[in-house]
Chain A
Amino acid sequence: MNKADYKNVWVYIENVEGTPKSVGLELLGPAREIAGAMGQKLVAVVISSAAEESVKAAVAYGADEVIVIEGPEYKDYTTDAYVNALYEVVQKYKPAALMIGATNNGRDMAPRVSSRIGTGLTADCTQLAYDAESDNVAWTRPAFGGNLMATILCPDTRPQIGTVRPGVFKKKTPDAKRKAEIVREKIHVPADQIRTKILKVFKEAGGEGVNLEDADVIVSGGRGLGKPENFKVVEELAKALGGVVGASRAAVDAEWISHAHQVGQTGKTVAPKLYIACGISGAIQHVAGMSGSDVIVAINKDPDAPIFDIADYGVVGDLFEVVPALTEEVRKLKA
């Protein structure tokens, strides 16, 4: 492997039913800066049966070039077809770095691509930088339940690959007038080489998908709620603020609310404008998923709860008094 043959920073734009997932567009921001520091191009890669919307978005959010692999076999994500397609274009064009959103499908695909190539992969990064001294991407990620951060380099093999948590980086302002080169690749996978088949799809009970990553306001509940019915006070405040309901691992483990709402190291990473933690002690694994929020409010009756160490506004008090009263205040202010 001659490292000098590998150029450009790639971002994989995950596409679901013709629409790009936010994380790919988020990644174009830091990837642009790294590509700039390296003096190289920013390239987006789209694999889909309906790629156009994602291609347009990738250009508007800053890609210099978009590689598109389109075909009917890419209608739904399958490990075999997607890994093959991404592997083929990587072998052909030889990027220096490849960034993939750490969604379920992104984390399914990335380790197969990296190990097929025999290169390094860093999982679930929350910070990205360019290490000019060694000419490597510096991938920083939490480990040990968020207790420790590690910065990882992949010095000898290319491409350097990493998955990056959704919700960590904010999307830049799109520019619909931007132009970029579009490269279309025909890569077909025979049906008998796709060894998994989707037999049935279940949408989460309760209808609406829980979109924590894109929310401007999140109101989360934890162990302090005491029982599942009490999530109602959290929901009321979220509704008044036009926000989304989150939860700590304790509340999810107790099965008071579904895992889709979980914020933290084993849940989602979020960075809303306003995060309100109700009855959440602030274990490091929760903090790992929300400390990037612009403004953090904590409501907890234990004055020594660690959540207060990271809160911009900490209310020491009974959440069952404070939260409903706050909901009333918000309604008045918004009226």
Chain B
Amino acid sequence: MKLELENICIDFREIALYRDFSIGFDEGKITCILGPSGCGKTTLLNIIGNIVKPDRGNLSGFEGKIISYIFQDPRLLPWKTVKGNIEFVLGKEIPPEEREQLADHFIRLVELDDFAGYYPSKLSGGMRQRVSIARAFAYSSDIILMDEPLKGLDIKLKLNLIKTFSRIWEKDKRTVIFVTHEVDEALLLGNEIIVLSKPPAEILTHLSMEIPLGDRSLDSPSLSGLKMKLLNTLGN
């Protein structure tokens, strides 16, 4: 089934962000939305997450879907340990032992086993973002929304987090909608890459990536070719 937004219209601070904008997302894929800063990417996520209602337009396929989030800032509770932070979002419907097992499982997947009992203040920025990734996956959602979660991290950390994220995702194949303004991130993480224009947003390009997530290298000729193409599209 496809998740769709149809004929969306919305203004934000008197800017017409979207005018009769339609977009579709494949389930079980990572869709990267690439666009210049201020093009309304966050607003699009807010519409999908049902946090903001569009002035006009329809959403279909999102009914009853549970969503988890990875924010730009990890947003961890400073008074809870790594494990406590993950358990915090796991609902009462899950028995406590199971909650603990789930948390442990995802802590292992993001390679923070030795830090499960640490408070966020004792972790590095990259480690905190790993916790936030583990939290998003541990939460039994249908869709993960990511709002520039790699912004502000250095390139080495970024690549590291992308690797971690891809590894977990390969086992899980959850629907992911990921917004960014960094071409490299989109190329390394997207199954689908959609480029948006300045507002009112239009879809400039839609790429489907065939290379599996783990096998991508920014240095490879195919990716650097695509990178040039995307940068050109964004530049216009």
A binds B: no
Which chain B residues have a beta carbon within 8 Å of chain A's beta carbons? Answer: none
